[in-house]
Amino acid sequence: MDATNGTITQVTDGSFAAEVAQGLVLVDFWATWCGPCQIVAPILEDLAGEYAGKIKVAKLDVDSNPQTAQKFNVRSIPSILFFKDGEHVDTVIGAVPKDMIQEKIDAHIA
């Protein structure tokens, strides 16, 4: 994905490592049947646009990609995991307000 266009990348077990390898990447671990995941989705779309060129926002469907969810011990969804240059640096669990996610982004961009 081009990190400058403000879109959300769909990642899989197979593409995950390559997608989080560079820069600050937020990965939304979600599922289609998850109500709170539907609440978080538009917030992440907004953030992808607002931080275009600074961060990458990705989504991983835990039903289709269980290996990555297990690797990072994701037990509740939505879980937003923050990766900086491939390293897991932070996590937000649940449907949280936009400003809470922004605070985490700003802390890791600095």
The rounded Cα 48 to chain-centroid distance in angstroms is 10
Give me the half-sphere count of Cα atoms (radius 13 Å) on the Cβ side of residue 51.
24
- Is 13 catalytic? The answer is no
Catalytic entry in 3, 8, 27, 34: 34
- Is 52 catalytic? The answer is no
Catalytic entry in 27, 37, 48, 80: 37
Edge-first strand listing for the sheet containing 8-11: 8-11, 55-61, 24-30, 79-84, 87-93
> Which residues are tagged catalytic?
34, 37
